[in-house]
Structure 1
Amino acid sequence: MKEIKQEFLTGERALFQAQDMKIIDTIFADGESPLKHASDIELDGCMFKWKYPLWYSTNITVKNSTWFEMGRAGVWYTDNVSVENSVIEAPKNFRRCRNVRLANVDMPNAAETFWSCDGAVFENVRVRGDYFAMNSRNMKINNFILDGNYPFDGAENIEIDNSKLISKDALWNAENIVVRNSFISGEYLGWNSKNLTFENCTIESLQGMCYIDNLVMKNCKLINTTLAFEYSSVDADITNTIDSVFNPSSGTIRAERIAKLIVEKDKVDPAKTKIVCRDIVN
């Protein structure tokens, strides 16, 4: 394996089609696409300061490295990529990639990142930015913190554990999603989705969990959550008071208490939904 150490590389396609190479403490400065069509590359302690560093590449391992703000659109059309202990400041990273692993990664400017990817494992990842993981699939996520709106739009086959999502319009148009032991705060959670499951979660959401086909909630807490479950088929086990429930389409809702229940007979059939709780105030 060829080794490059402590280089300062400039110019377009500086290491075009590089193969079987270890790159250490090296700066990729001005010049687009320095590692385009690369394969079997190990990077450690490197810095990406310009656009499109890794496109159409395979078998890439990155450790202790940094994408600066202009290192945008950094990893596209790349398969089998691992990034550890790194900071990705640039937006629009990871598009149409397969088999991605991120561990101990901070993405403070992750707008429009991780789109249309297939196969990913996240561990200890922090993200700030809108439209994260749109149309991505087959993801396993643990200890994830997200601050940004519209994440996971159109996503499929996603597992999220031990995480925090501060996010409006999360998990829209999604399918086969399981969220466990997590906290979510944001309006309009989960609209137009199918097979959406929350287990041991705390949720705050205006008009959350509406227009869902097969919503399952197990041992969940809803705080300041109003107008929930509109036109959703639901099997919900809520451990505290639900502030208001609005026109669920079918299923069972169990709660300690419902402050306000709204069922409009001209919109839904009340007989299709079973309400089990100690007290309904209004």
Structure 2
Amino acid sequence: MQEIKEKYFEGERALYGLSNTILKNVTFGEGESPLKETKDLEIKATIFKYKYPLWYSNNINITDAIFETMSRSGIWYTDNISIKNSNLQAPKLFRRCKNITLDHIFFSNAEETMWTCEDITIKNTEINGDYFGKDSSNIYMENVRVIGNYVFDGAKNIVCKNCSFVSKDAFWNCENVTLINCQIDGEYLSWNSSHITFKDCTIESDQGLCYMDYVTLENCILNQTPLAFEKCSNIKATINSKITSIKNPISGIIKAKKIETVIIDPTKVDPKATKIIFIEPVDREVSVSDQNQEGE
């Protein structure tokens, strides 16, 4: 492989079509699309200052890089890309990309980032910004912190381990999601999603977990989560804490240490289709039928 070291480039398409090259201590200044349609690149300790640096590229490995704020919309239509130990300041990075690996990344502004991408692995990363991961699929995350609303709207086939999310409307319209040992804080969690599982998670969400099908909670804690499970079907929930309130679940089993309020409107749902198991007494506005409640 050829090597380009300690260079400064500016102007449109500065290294268009470059291949089989190591770039080290390079700075790309003002000028759009400096590495458009490139392939087989090793990029080390490089700074991207302007728009669209990597479009239609393939087989790109990046370490110790900086994508500054104006390198927005930086990585689109690019496949087989790995980025490690890097700071990504620009919004709208990653669109319609495949086979993405990120490790030890800091996204200072991940607004509208990682849209319609496939086969994504993210580890040891901090993400800040709204609308991360929209309509993406086949995602694995471990030791990732996300602060930003509407994360993974419309995404599918997601596994998250040891992650935290501070996000309103997180995991909306999703399919096939598993969260393990995660912390989630934000209103209206997971509406309109199906086949979603929470294992050993701590959740705080005003009106969270509603309008869902096949929702499972195993060994979870719900802190201050009122009006949960509205219009949810096929519920399988074991909650190791109290539930503030539940409202009009369609079907399934809900087990909790205590449920402060149960709201069931028999004109909207069948009270017999949801089995509620509790340990401590329930205060209720409208109760499910006695035969569906079991004390322990």
Give TM class, smaller chain: over 0.9
What is the CA distance between 1:95 and its match in structure 2? 0.4
State the match for 1:52 in structure 2: 52
Unaligned runs of 5+ in 2: 285-296
Match for 1:240: what amino acid? S
Match for 1:155: what amino acid? A
Distance 2:241 2:133 in 1: 31
Distance 1:39 1:8 in 2: 20
Distance 2:244 2:154 in 1: 29
1:252 aligns with 2:249: no
Aligned residue pairs total 282
- Map of 1:30-69 to 2, 5 A cutoff? 30-69=30-69
1:136 aligns with 2:161: no
Distance 1:6 1:254 in 2: 62
Distance 2:14 2:244 in 1: 59
Match for 1:113: what amino acid? T
State the match for 1:197 in structure 2: 197
What is the CA distance between 1:100 and its match in structure 2? 0.1
- Map of 1:62-141 to 2, 5 A cutoff? 62-141=62-141
What is the CA distance between 1:281 and its match in structure 2? 2.4
State the match for 1:242 in structure 2: 243
Match for 1:210: what amino acid? C
* TM-score normalised by structure 2 residue count: 0.95
Distance 1:246 1:124 in 2: 37
Distance 2:95 2:242 in 1: 41
What is the CA distance between 1:30 and its match in structure 2? 0.5
What is the CA distance between 1:278 and its match in structure 2? 1.0
Q: Secondary structure at the match of 1:271?
A: helix
CA deviation digits over 1:33-79, x for unaligned, max 9? 00000000000000000000000000000000000000111100000
Distance 1:244 1:123 in 2: 35
State the match for 2:273 in structure 1: 272
Distance 2:232 2:89 in 1: 38
Match for 2:56: what amino acid? Y
Unaligned runs of 5+ in 1: none
Q: Secondary structure at the match of 1:239?
A: strand
Match for 2:144: what amino acid? F
What is the CA distance between 1:253 and its match in structure 2? 0.1
What is the CA distance between 1:20 and its match in structure 2? 0.2
Which is greater in Rg?
2
- Map of 1:173-212 to 2, 5 A cutoff? 173-212=173-212
What is the RMSD computed on CA atoms of the aligned residues? 0.5
Q: Secondary structure at the match of 1:109?
A: coil
